[in-house]
Each structure stands twice: as structure tokens, then as C-alpha cells.
Amino acid sequence: MKFLYLVFLFFMYSTTAFCSSGSDTIRLSLNDVVEMAKGNSIASKQAITTRETKYWLWRTYKSNYQPQLSLSGNLPGYSKTELQVLQPNGTILFQPVHNDNSEMTLNFSQTITATGATIYGESQLQRFDDFDRHNILYNGIPYAIGLSQPIGQYNSLKWDKKIQPLLYNESRQAYIEAKEQISYTATGYFFDLLLAQVNLHIAQINYANTDNILKIANTKFELGKITKNEILQLQLELLNARKAVGTAKRDMEISTLTLRSYISQEGDDRIALIVPETISDMSVSSDKVLAEAYANRSDAIAFVRRIAEAKRDVAVARGQTGLTAALTANLGFSNSASSIPAVYRSPQNQQLLQLTFAIPVLDWGRSKSKIKTAEANEQFTEYAVEQDKQTFKQQIVTQVSLFNQMKEQVGLTAQADSIAGEKYKIAKERYVLGNLSITDLSIAFQENDQAKRDYVAALRDFWGAYYQLRYLSLYDFEKNEKITYK
């Protein structure tokens, strides 16, 4: 009767449940962890801040092509001092000066992208008070318009219009990539904790089973059916099992803290993870992933942008060498009077036409060297981009192949886990009946434990490959749609 009672205890312990749900336990799925990471993690907040920074840089760029209106002034311009004054005979006298020279100017400007020119207009009013002589004088420009046109120089407006939209679109896709990278990282932390929980469960079950087997073995030893060596072996197994429980608890606590920190989950409730399943009906082809990657990834936009920047550098080199000139033209009216209304009555016209230029006469090949250097860098960039495109393509093809392999591998490890569990169950029964040695039972223990760990590892590889595919293509293959975030 004692022997049968111990057998009953053995089977009761071997069927102990892994997780008990309670008020202090939070059950989380892989999707829950991923969504919490994307919504609450520091990495997510950093990605949002980076996106906002890029957005305001984009707004700054756009404002360069809009009309600009500004008001500037000098109010007051009070001064009381002694200034040196050059006399007709060449001598200098220091004269007291006590005045106020105030002015206000309203400026308007508009750039022309095609030529790099700037059209501007202004209206100005100036008041001069001479306190020593009690004299007031006004000077003003009712209105004036002008044009400033660079000739043969680098046109930054034209090139910015080609490159800045690429940079902005690249930053938008980089934000989505950052979110998907967070998903991939969170998946790793999820499976770190899941494997730690599985290891703890295995260690606890092994400890309970070993303890009960030792009790059964003691009964069999009393009956003279086993040797002292088997008792010692089981005692050693029990000590190792107890050490394994302690190690597994430590690993689970570390993994829990790491996951909780990454997803910014506060509190001290116990986290119990739900083992995810595979997506059995999802098919992925290299052609589809490549097409989506070239359409969505920031790298694909960067390929075009890098070549455009190299061409821009050539334009800069050419614009800074050889003949450079600038044409400035101005037409308006100005007047001086003793009162403000008189400034605007019958003003005198003013005109300005000026052409400035610079021509290098002897620069010892400096201009040519700058241009050739820029052209060589452009050629190098084209080669580098071509190489990066090949690496980009190869990475995607390899990842698709890996994902399909992991999908099959999960099924195989699930079968192996089932077989190992059945084999372990039979081994326990045979040992209780005395038809199996302690060595064979230990081997069955180890094979069953390893099969469970292999299954969790296969799930980790599968979901890691899945989120890596999402990151590489920015495409949701479950919903068959592009990934977007607000």
C-alpha cells in the first residue's frame, strides 16, 4: 500500500500546472508585449521626437520658398558723446554730439527657384533729432523694388527642391522602421522571459518528480530491488534539480525586469506569458517582399537621395569656380523733409544697377581639382549605392528563405516535443514498474526538457524572422497591407 501511495503522489506531481492565474498575475501575449513596447517604451518616444524634429526641418525648408515680410528698426538711436571731426585744413577737432537717429524698415522678399534670384521691396522712414541745434529732419523711402540675380553660381534653392523632399520621405519611413525595430526587440525580450519561465517550470517539475522518484527508490531499496548506487545517483539528481530551480528563478527575475523596463510596465504584478502560435496560412515570396521593400523602405529612398547629393556636390564645385557674378538692380523713390507728410510728397526717384564678378586668372589648377574631386566622389557614390542595392536585395532574399525554414522548423520541433513527452511518460511508468534503469530515466528527463526548450527556441526564431520581414519591407503580411503609423 505504501508503494502504491508513492506512485500516486508521483503522477500527481508530474501533472502540476505551469501558471496559476490570480489577482497578482498579468497574462500577456506576444502581441500585447509588442503593442505596449510601441506605445510606451523610451525607444518609441525617441522615435516620435526624431520624427517631429524632421517634420519641423521640413517646414523650415518649405518656408524658404514662401514670401518673407519683416519689420526692422532702431528705436531709439539716442547718442550723446564727443566725436572727432576732420577740419578743412586736415586737423581734427573733437565736437560734442547730442542726437537721436531712429529708423524703421518694412522689407518684403520672394525667391525664384528656377534662377536662384531674389525679388525684394522695402519701405523706410528715418527721423533725425539734433538736440544741440533743436533741429528735426525726416528721410524716407516710400517704396523701392529690386532684384538680386546670381550668375554662374550654385543654386541652392533648385537642389534643395530635389533633395529635401527625399530626406523628408526618408524620415517618415525611418519612423515606421523604428517602430518595427521596437517590435523585433520586444519579441526578443518576450521570448527571453518565456524561455526563463519554461526553464523554471521544467526545473520545478523535475525537482518534484526526482523527489518522488527518490521516495519510490527508497521503498524499492528497502525491499532489496535496487542498489545503494542508484539511491546515491538519485540524491545527486535531487541536489542538481534544486540548484536548477534556484538558477531558473534568478534568470526569470532578470528577464522579467528587462522586459518590464523595456515596455515601461510599472508595478510588481507577476507576468505570465502566453505561448504564441505560428501563422500557418501566411505565404511569403521574395518577389513580393522585394517589391514592398523598394516601395516603402527608407533605404530605397536613400539610394536616390545619395546620388542626388553627389550630383549637388558637383554643382557646388562648379558654382564656386570659374566666372562668378551677381547682378543687382534697384528702382524706387526717396525724399527728405522736415515733416512726415512732406517725405511722401513729390519724392525723388533712385536707381541702382550693379554687376559684380570674379574671374580666377591663375589658380594653379585649383578649380579643376575641385570639380574633378567632386566628379570622382559622384562616381564612387554610384558604385557604393549599387553595392548597397545588391546587399539590400540579398538580405531580403535570405530573410524570406530563413522565415520559410523557421515556419517548417516550428512544426518539426512541436512533433519532437510531443514524442519526447510521450517517451518521458513511458519511461516514468517503466521505472516505477522496475523495467528501466535510473540512467535511461535520466536520459528521458533530459530529452524531454531539451525538446521543450527547442520548441520555444523555434518559436522565437519564427517570430523573430517574421518581425524582421516586417522591418525589411514595412508590409503586414497577415493583413496584406502597408504598415503605417499616425
- Residues 66-117 pLDDT 10s: 999 999 999 889 999 998 988 888 899 998 899 999 999 999 999 999 999 9
Q: What is the mean pLDDT of residues 422-438?
A: 74
For residue 9, the model assigns a pLDDT of 34
For residue 50, the model assigns a pLDDT of 95
For residue 22, the model assigns a pLDDT of 43
Given a cut of 90, is residue 208 above it in pLDDT?
no
Given a cut of 80, is residue 254 above it in pLDDT?
yes
For residue 438, the model assigns a pLDDT of 63
Given a cut of 50, is residue 15 above it in pLDDT?
no
pTM: 0.81
Domain ranges of the chain: 2-61+159-314+370-482, 71-112+117-152+324-359
For residue 420, the model assigns a pLDDT of 82
pLDDT band of 304, cuts 50, 70, 90 = very high
Given a cut of 50, is residue 14 above it in pLDDT?
no
Condensed to tens digits (0 to 9), the pLDDT of residues 363-373 reads 888 888 999 99
**Would you state the cell numbers that stand for residue 466, as one nine-digit string?**
517574421
Percent of the chain with pLDDT over 70: 94
One DSSP character per residue, 159-212 reads HHHHHHHHHHHHHHHHHHHHHHHHHHHHHHHHHHHHHHHHHHHHHHHHHHHHHH
Condensed to tens digits (0 to 9), the pLDDT of residues 124-150 reads 999 999 998 889 999 999 999 999 999
pLDDT band of 209, cuts 50, 70, 90 = confident
For residue 137, the model assigns a pLDDT of 94
Three-class SS of the chain: CHHHHHHHHHHHHHCCCCCCCCCCEEEECHHHHHHHHHHHCHHHHHHHHHHHHHHHHHHHHHHCCCCEEEEEEECCCEEEEEEEEECCCCCEEEEEEEEEEEEEEEEEEEEECCCCEEEEEEEEEEEEEECCCCEEEEEEEEEEEEEEEEECCCCHHHHHHHHHHHHHHHHHHHHHHHHHHHHHHHHHHHHHHHHHHHHHHHHHHHHHHHHHHHHHHHHHHHCCCCCHHHHHHHHHHHHHHHHHHHHHHHHHHHHHHHHHHHCCCCCCCEEEECCCCCCCCCCCCHHHHHHHHHHHCHHHHHHHHHHHHHHHHHHHHHHCCCCEEEEEEEEEEEEEECCHHHHCCCCEEEEEEEEEEECCCCCCCHHHHHHHHHHHHHHHHHHHHHHHHHHHHHHHHHHHHHHHHHHHHHHHHHHHHHHHHHHHHHHHHHHHHCCCCHHHHHHHHHHHHHHHHHHHHHHHHHHHHHHHHHHHHCEECCCCEECCCC
Does 442 or 87 have the greater pLDDT score? 87
For residue 407, the model assigns a pLDDT of 83
For residue 23, the model assigns a pLDDT of 46
Average pLDDT taken over every residue of the chain: 87
Given a cut of 90, is residue 33 above it in pLDDT?
yes
Condensed to tens digits (0 to 9), the pLDDT of residues 389-427 reads 999 999 999 999 998 888 888 888 888 888 887 887 887
Given a cut of 70, is residue 21 above it in pLDDT?
no
Number of other residues whose CB lies within 10 A of the CB of residue 95: 11
Given a cut of 80, is residue 280 above it in pLDDT?
no
Fold for domain 2-61+159-314+370-482?
A: Outer membrane efflux proteins (OEP) (1.20.1600)
Given a cut of 80, is residue 6 above it in pLDDT?
no
